[in-house]
Structure 1
């Protein structure tokens, strides 16, 4: 699975980093999402998909390889 982020859409809620901290983090300067692990995923795929689905700004995407 490939993960994409849209930092312009991100509102900095941090939900993604709470759900999948090995894959997502928040930038220290602006609080927006950062992708830590583009793959292969160290978190279970279901956890990452959950983070993508729960993003309140729809700033995350997941795509099959």
Structure 2
């Protein structure tokens, strides 16, 4: 594996770890299902996710 391939994998991992990739997937899905609606900003998306988590609590083991 060369340095470029290693860097690409590290970048992918960090984006998945931080949730940045989740926002990108949301934007793609939003554009596909609502082509004429504006895409929420990252901050608006975070507010939507927080509201959804509060309204739909999941049971936790700990």
Query: Is the strand fraction higher in 1 or 2?
Result: 1
TM-score greater than 0.5 by the shorter chain: no
TM-score, length-normalised on structure 1? 0.28
Return the index of the structure with the highest Cα Rg: 2
TM-score, length-normalised on structure 2? 0.29
- Higher RCO (CA < 8 A, seq sep 6+): 1
